[in-house]
Structure formats: structure tokens, C-alpha cells
Amino acid sequence: MSDKIRGTVKWFNESKGFGFLESGGKDYFVHFSAILGSGFKTLAEGATVMFKPSNGQKGPQAEEVEVV
């Protein structure tokens, strides 16, 4: 759990199921499958989240995303 960082949702497109988070001036891709919890998975613009940063095929991405 200590490897998670705090970030903010820049935008999230519910119909496409992805968006971007920002933390420390860096953008992270987020896919709906990386959002923890059950039910319809979405993120509100401006929401504060905790996530595990990783390197995806196209750059930085977020894993294990949870709204705080």
C-alpha cells in the first residue's frame, strides 16, 4: 500500500472507459478496469485518488485506483 501516490482526475470518458490522472506534474493513463470497487466504474473530474503508478505500453499508467 505504501507504493501508492495521490493524484487528481484530469478527465474520464465513461463511454470509452478511460481517462487521465495527474500527479506531480505528470499524466497517467487510467482504464476503468484499474478502478477498485464493484459496480459501474467511473471517476469524476477533479476527484482525489490514490493509485499505483506503472509503465504501460504507451507511457505512464495508473493501477489499483481508489477514490479518497
pTM: 0.92
Interior CA angle at 10 toward 23 and 2, to 5°? 35
Instruction: Produce one character per residue of 29-55: b if its CB has 16 or more CB atoms within 10 Å, e if not.
Output: bbbbebbeeeeebebeeeeebbbbbee
pLDDT at 1: 44
Domains by residue range for the chain, with CATH: 5-67 (2.40.50.140)
What residue has cell string 478496469? 33
pLDDT for 2 equals: 58
**DSSP state for residue 53 in the 8-state scheme:** E
**Three-state DSSP class for residue 41:** coil
Residue 52 pLDDT level (bands cut at 50, 70, 90): very high
Q: What is the mean pLDDT of residues 26-52?
A: 96
